[in-house]
Structure 1
Amino acid sequence: MKTRSSGRGGGEPRRRLRNAAVMALMLSSLVALSLVRARFSPIASDGGEALKLKADESKLVVTTNHAVVNTESGDSSSSSSSSAAAEEEEEVAAPAKPAGGGGGGGGGARPVCYETSRRSDTCEAAGDVRVVGGSQTVYADTLDREWKTKPYCRKHDAFALSHVKEWTLRPLPSGDGDGGGAAVAPRCTTNSTATAFVLSTGGFTGNPFHDYTDVLIPAFITAHRFGGEVQFLVSSYKSWWMNKYIQIFQQMSRHDVVDVDADGDEVRCYRSAVVGPEFHRELGVDPTKTPSGYSVLDFRKMLRGAFGLDRATATPSGDRWDIRRRPRLLIISRRAARGRAFLHERAMADMAASLGFDVRVGEPDASTDTSKFARLVNSCDVMVGVHGAGLTNMVFLPAGAVLVQVVPYGKLEWLARNTFAEPSSAMEIHYLEYAVQLDETTLSEQYPADHPVLRDPMAIHKQGWEALKTTYLDKQNVRPHLGRLKNTFLQALKLLPHDKETMN
């Protein structure tokens, strides 16, 4: 008995200490769990607002994990792909649209400004809406607080956004000018029943890939649901750029396009407004995110109407291709000084002609007549070019045509896939890829055989986008082996919708 009693007496303090430690651990876990839940829960407890705001309530919070990369807008079609990891991430699913085109943000299903993808924010307001372009301000009587946004689809790229003006959405002042002290609402100078749509042509516009990916396709996604009753209010307006694409805007709207920054004291009044276009994917439309399921095929149909393009499909004039209508192949040309040029275009054209192609060569640039070049591309059945902005002209190819992307040396297949390979399928365009080998690139003439540029391209990738772009996109020209390229062209012929026995 003494021994048992002595044992209990010595162990009791230790048991109590263990129990206290367990209780402390459980309490700590509960506190940590509560903090984590409060930090990451997407739904607030006071009304369901699905957006967390920082201390500065006037700023829309956008949290991304994307690196900010300084890119150029002049030539590369892939400054949108400045971070390989960013391009691999899934798009954020767009929230359902609210009834009536948005509200004040007090008790609705979501805020006035909301994230439509990791690349874009869109703001919507309805009611008494007044736009003062001279100060980049939208007033609405349904708002109860201020919101700020930059209406351009590249919100993770600080360099692009540095060329985009910020817009503010504010509650409409209630004063009537009777001396009561309240601010006075700006008086309307023009009235419209259309929806105002504010977007920017700043950023990387001037590069065809960015023209379509950052502005034109997002504008179509956002404006299509209004059936033409939308007025484009363009910020950071560039007259030369708008002249290049005015036919597209005229297809999307029955109203004049406005250089809204130049409005001065003009006050444009509407029943509703959208500030900032929606983005889905590179050169694409996600039909599951559009109100009526419209897709990039509808965008391509709209382009045919805008530029008067005759061919919806790549089919021969009769049952077979013949001497009167041979399949046409377009070589997208580039100057050697720009990089990624074919150094033997004439030999390529002769080889393609020997296979039965009617060959054309075109070099699109900033001064190219868009309508004229669109008609040339639409007349073709196969288009081939080295990775670059010129391949964006695939939007004009007829369905069933073939795009051949020549991928420069340097492990750039991921870049080729994101920019042109993946969009081609949704456009109903066949896609073929020709990867440049070491003995087909001028890089082998610029560097010793054991240099990392030639032997370990991924080491260059790890140095960042600028190193990759400068090395593999700006400094490289190519000379594909005609034998290998011939096999690719023969494969393209087999993909075309024709009687295969007609081609020898």
Structure 2
Amino acid sequence: MMKKRFSSGSCNATLIPFTMVLSFSLFSVLYFFNADSSSRFNHVSSVLNSPSFPRNQDQSLRSEKPTERDPQHSFLQVESQISCDRSHYHYDLCSINGPNVLDPISSTFYAIGPTSPRKFKQKIRPYPRKWENLTMSKIKEVTLISGPKGPKCNVIHNTSAVVFSAGGYTGNFFHDFNDGFVPLFITVRSMSLSNHDVVLVIEKSRDWWVSKYSDLLGAFSNYPIINLDNETITHCFKSVSLGLVSHGFMTIKPRLMPKPTTILDFHYFLNKAYGKAQQSDFTIPMTRPKLVLLSRSGGVGRVILNQVEMKTMAENMGFNVIVFEPKPENTLFEAQRLINESHVMVGVHGAALTHFLLLRPGSVFIQVVPIGIDGVAEMCFGKPAKEMGLTYLEYKIRVEESSLVNRYNKSDPVLTNPMSSNKNWWADLGKVYLKEQNVELDLIRFKDYLKYAYNKAKRFMNKVG
């Protein structure tokens, strides 16, 4: 039996600008060495136990409790309603622990309570890529104010609000989940609210994005989305939380949740959102394992040049092969139905591999890893796939399988030692290893991977259908 290979490789399927990649590199170093640091996450469990988290405050907000005769007592009560936790590497969190009113024109939340001539203010960019200064500079700031009386309410909501941005890298399928829906799932699950009992207030809530993910957004909230960019009337809430909690790349850490929760729970959440039971029942019995081949074409890079031959080989082996090239117009409902009913998924590293979240636990997931992106491939897809209970196989291509051999000398560090020898690796990640590189699989070597996957898929198919 072939030995499974687990290694690592970039989450973004599109060309990554130098500045973004450079900042991403700094994150990677810190992430691998500090992601599990208790000092970075030791507040999370207690912070998230309240409907109006977080209770951890900035140093500027901490003060001794005033006596009842303190003339500033009423003001400090209002000021203490606003709290911000800026201790995390990936994100900031702010909240108003009590009634508040949103003025969407100025993107400002006013605490409702005793008034004071003194104004207390905090600002937040509610997007969980805090370490990337360039990205965060393009995220709209939202303001929280206590003190002076805010505007009157036009609409009163008898529930809480969660505020976040769908800007940044939103629109790339990987980032839609890594920076959006997985952190949103963590955040909402960490709030002591019943299902759907939250209003989503979203900056950059573009129509095409809402349409594409309407079923998934509806699984988070029964209420209409408030578009922070287009809304013109004021709204009042019982409390509000701004920002999304991220545990790292495509992961959910049970020890940081009020109740044990994993990425597998998010998989079941997706199934529920799209009307699927946790275990699929098929009306038509399958005799051949279904293999979904995620395809890439055009000038996007990481194309399988001998895809036709690879597909034929898999079919001759006994697979029912479905070629799936995701397009912007594809709904997630269509993808969920296809992927959830398959037994094997194969694809080259890229954003489309995010579809692994739709595979049933026990399915086989083969990631083809081009040269130069080992560590990022593991971080973005390999590690979370194993956490979700998939049989994960990594096919690391050899130099002779990369189209880069036609551009560079075989002794060039770009090919022989990308991480250690090429000082420009981070700059080349987007331009060279993702954009310019295609792969031509060694079908003799890859056949061993398919054989292993076929045997696993047959046992899985016989077990669950």
Do the structures match in fold with TM over 0.5?
Answer: yes
Q: 1:277 to 1:157 in 2, by over 3 A?
A: same
1:198-222 Cα offsets, whole Å, 9 max, x none, are 1000000111111100011111111
Name the counterpart of 2:262.
295
Matched, 1:132 2:103: yes
What is the distance in 2 between the residues matched to 1:131 and 1:353?
57
Provide the secondary structure at the position in 2 that maps to 1:231: strand
Name the counterpart of 1:186.
151
Does structure 2 retain, via aligned residues, the 8 Å contact 1:76–1:389? no
Q: Which moved more, 1:102-111 or 1:442-451?
A: 102-111
Does structure 2 retain, via aligned residues, the 8 Å contact 1:152–1:161? yes
Matched, 1:353 2:315: yes
Does structure 2 retain, via aligned residues, the 8 Å contact 1:73–1:204? no
Matched, 1:405 2:367: yes
Counting aligned pairs with the same residue, the percent is 30
Q: 1:424 to 1:370 in 2, by over 3 A?
A: same
What is the distance in 1 between the residues matched to 2:227 and 2:338?
31
Name the counterpart of 2:77.
none
Matched, 1:237 2:237: no
Q: 1:445 to 1:100 in 2, by over 3 A?
A: closer
* Displacement after TM superposition at 1:168 (Å): 1.0
* Displacement after TM superposition at 1:489 (Å): 1.1
Does structure 2 retain, via aligned residues, the 8 Å contact 1:116–1:278? no
* Displacement after TM superposition at 1:311 (Å): 6.0
What is the distance in 1 between the residues matched to 2:462 and 2:101?
64
Kindly report which structure 2 residues correspond to 1:87-166, keeping only aligned pairs within 5 A, or say none: 87-91=31-35, 92-95=40-43, 96-97=46-47, 99=50, 101-102=52-53, 105-107=61-63, 112-115=83-86, 117-141=88-112, 145-166=120-141
Does structure 1 retain, via aligned residues, the 8 Å contact 2:90–2:246? yes
Matched, 1:447 2:447: no
* Displacement after TM superposition at 1:300 (Å): 1.1
Query: Which residue type is aligned with residue 337 of structure 1?
Result: G
Query: Which residue type is aligned with residue 102 of structure 2?
Result: V
Q: 1:115 to 1:400 in 2, by over 3 A?
A: farther
Name the counterpart of 1:86.
30
Q: 1:347 to 1:241 in 2, by over 3 A?
A: same
Q: 1:151 to 1:497 in 2, by over 3 A?
A: farther
What is the distance in 2 between the residues matched to 1:220 and 1:387?
25
* Displacement after TM superposition at 1:86 (Å): 3.2
Does structure 1 retain, via aligned residues, the 8 Å contact 2:362–2:389? yes
TM-score when normalising by structure 2: 0.82
Provide the secondary structure at the position in 1 that maps to 2:440: coil
Kindly report which structure 2 residues correspond to 1:201-350, keeping only aligned pairs within 5 A, or say none: 201-224=166-189, 225=191, 226-227=193-194, 228-264=196-232, 266-309=233-276, 312=279, 324-350=286-312
Name the counterpart of 2:8.
none
The ranges of structure 1 where at least 4 consecutive aligned residues each deviate by more than 6 angstroms after the TM superposition are 108-111, 315-318, 499-502
* Displacement after TM superposition at 1:438 (Å): 1.1
Q: Which moved more, 1:93-102 or 1:268-277?
A: 93-102
Name the counterpart of 1:391.
353
Q: 1:268 to 1:461 in 2, by over 3 A?
A: farther
Provide the secondary structure at the position in 1 that maps to 2:41: coil
Note the aligned Cα RMSD (angstroms): 2.9
Name the counterpart of 2:424.
463
Matched, 1:169 2:137: no
Work out the number of aligned pairs and report it: 415
TM-score when normalising by structure 1: 0.76
Query: Which residue type is aligned with residue 467 of structure 1?
Result: D
User: Where do 5+ consecutive residues of structure 1 fail to align?
Assistant: 1-70, 174-183
Considering only CA atoms, is the larger Rg found in Structure 1 or Structure 2?
1
Does structure 2 retain, via aligned residues, the 8 Å contact 1:117–1:280? no
What is the distance in 2 between the residues matched to 1:409 and 1:165?
37
What is the distance in 2 between the residues matched to 1:432 and 1:116?
36
Q: 1:461 to 1:302 in 2, by over 3 A?
A: farther
Provide the secondary structure at the position in 2 that maps to 1:367: coil
Does structure 2 retain, via aligned residues, the 8 Å contact 1:75–1:389? no
Provide the secondary structure at the position in 1 that maps to 2:429: helix
Query: Which residue type is aligned with residue 261 of structure 1?
Result: D
Q: 1:425 to 1:456 in 2, by over 3 A?
A: closer
What is the distance in 2 between the residues matched to 1:461 and 1:415?
17
Provide the secondary structure at the position in 2 that maps to 1:135: coil
* Displacement after TM superposition at 1:497 (Å): 6.4
User: Where do 5+ consecutive residues of structure 2 fail to align?
Assistant: 1-10, 66-79
What is the distance in 2 between the residues matched to 1:383 and 1:259?
36
* Displacement after TM superposition at 1:353 (Å): 1.0
Q: 1:491 to 1:81 in 2, by over 3 A?
A: farther
Name the counterpart of 1:374.
336
Does structure 2 retain, via aligned residues, the 8 Å contact 1:201–1:215? yes
Does structure 2 retain, via aligned residues, the 8 Å contact 1:73–1:206? no
What is the distance in 2 between the residues matched to 1:126 and 1:462?
49
Query: Which residue type is aligned with residue 162 of structure 1?
Result: S
Does structure 2 retain, via aligned residues, the 8 Å contact 1:213–1:283? yes
Q: 1:202 to 1:99 in 2, by over 3 A?
A: closer
Q: 1:317 to 1:499 in 2, by over 3 A?
A: farther
* Displacement after TM superposition at 1:130 (Å): 0.9
What is the distance in 2 between the residues matched to 1:395 and 1:459?
32
* Displacement after TM superposition at 1:451 (Å): 2.5
Provide the secondary structure at the position in 2 that maps to 1:134: coil
What is the distance in 2 between the residues matched to 1:185 and 1:246?
32
